[in-house]
Amino acid sequence: MTSRHTILVVDDHPLFRRGVIQLLQLEPSFEVVGEAGDYATAVRLATEKEPDLTLLDLNLKGSGGLEILSTLKEEDPSRRVVMLTVSDAPEDLMAAIRAGADGYLLKDMDPEQLLGRVRDALEGRTVISDTLTAALAAALRDEARGSRRDVRDLTDRELAVLKCLAGGQSNKVIARNLSITEGTVKVHVKHLLKKLGFRSRVEAAVWASEQGLRVAA
């Protein structure tokens, strides 16, 4: 029997939220275990249901999506949270990534494309809407002008892990390809983020890809 991936949908517009849920239910391997439209309900369900993935709107009434994201990541950094929003503003994208989002998708994407990105996210890959990848890379380039980032500061193993991140590989895939444990991968990721001055693996992955440091996913 194929295992099912559990998903929590958080959006304060009931009509859109219901549409996303109905779309996700078309995929037999997806199981929507909860829906929420506010901070308290979202945090409670994330704790109770422990979903494999949370799809989170950025602009919620009251406490915004970033507050929910920060709370979820503070409680458990391994939680996978992908923003699903209408905002294509670079500052919103960067704020979400720096708060720990594992992806940033726009609500105007095709339904089939959304399902594909959700699959990728559940497999541990970083997912960014195609139209925003360039904006994220540009923001990182602008930021890099005032900082010193040099891959020569990394150990050989950290560099290998960084290349895998740039290729969109999950911790599980990186561990298998490098013949190390997932726990060791997490340690290397933590160290390389600190050395390069990044707050999230998404930032590191996009930057490394821009530098031509990547291996196939």
Alpha-carbon distance of 78 to 18, in angstroms, equals 27
pLDDT of 118:
96
pLDDT of 32:
98
Assess whether pLDDT exceeds 70 at residue 36: yes
Residue 187, classified by CB atoms within 10 Å of its CB into exposed (0-12), middle (13-18) or buried (19+), is: middle
Query: Does domain 147-210 sit in CATH 3.40.50.300?
Result: no
The domain limits of the chain are 5-138, 147-210
pLDDT of 137:
74
pLDDT of 216:
58
Architecture field, domain 5-138 = 3-Layer(aba) Sandwich (3.40)
Q: What is the pTM of this model?
A: 0.79
Assess whether pLDDT exceeds 60 at residue 185: yes
Q: Which residue has the higher pLDDT, 148 or 10?
A: 10
Q: Which residue has the higher pLDDT, 24 or 150?
A: 24
In our burial notation (b when 16+ CB lie closer than 10 A, e otherwise), range 15-28 reads eebeebbebbeeee
Q: What is the DSSP string of 169-200?
A: --HHHHHHHHT--HHHHHHHHHHHHHHHT-SS
Please determine whether the domains at 5-138 and 147-210 fall in the same fold group of CATH: no
pLDDT of 170:
83
Alpha-carbon distance of 112 to 110, in angstroms, equals 6
**In the predicted model, what is the mean pLDDT of the chain?**
89
pLDDT of 159:
95
DSSP strand pairing (53-56 vs 127-128): unpaired
Q: What are phi and psi of 110, to 5 degrees?
A: -65, 145
Residues in the chain: 217
